[in-house]
Amino acid sequence: MGSSSSKTSGLLDVAKCKDMNSAPLPFIKYAQNTGDGILSFAGCLDSLATKMDKRAISYMTRKEKSTFEKLEAEKMKAVDNIKVFVLKEKMRFQVMQQEATIGAKMADLVRNVRPEAHCREISQMQASLTELQTKYQHFKIELEENCRVDGRSQKSSYKFIFACLGGLTMMAGAVGAIAFLIIHFVPGINLVLAPLGWACVAAFAASAVAGGTVMACCLRQDEIDRAMAYMSNLQSNLEKLKKSMQELEAGGTVIEETKQLEHFVNIAVALEKRCGHIAKICDEVSKSTFCG
**pTM beyond cutoff 0.95:** no
Instruction: Kindly tell me the sign of the dihedral angle through the C-alpha atoms of 92, 2, 42, 85.
Output: positive
Q: Which residues contact 280 (CB under 8 A, 6 or more apart)?
A: 217, 218
Distance CA 68, CA 105 (A): 49
Cβ distance 24 to 264 under 8 Å?
A: yes
> Each residue's pLDDT tens digit in the chain (292 positions)?
333 333 445 889 999 999 999 999 999 998 999 999 898 888 888 888 877 888 999 999 999 999 999 999 999 999 998 998 899 889 989 999 999 999 998 888 887 555 555 566 777 787 888 889 889 999 999 999 999 999 999 999 999 999 999 888 888 888 888 887 887 776 555 555 444 455 556 666 656 655 556 787 788 888 888 888 888 777 788 788 888 877 877 778 899 999 999 999 999 999 999 999 999 999 988 877 654 4
Which residues contact residue 72 at a Cβ distance below 8 angstroms, ignoring those fewer than 6 apart? 289, 290, 291
pLDDT one-digit tens code per residue, 205-247: 656 655 556 787 788 888 888 888 888 777 788 788 888 877 8
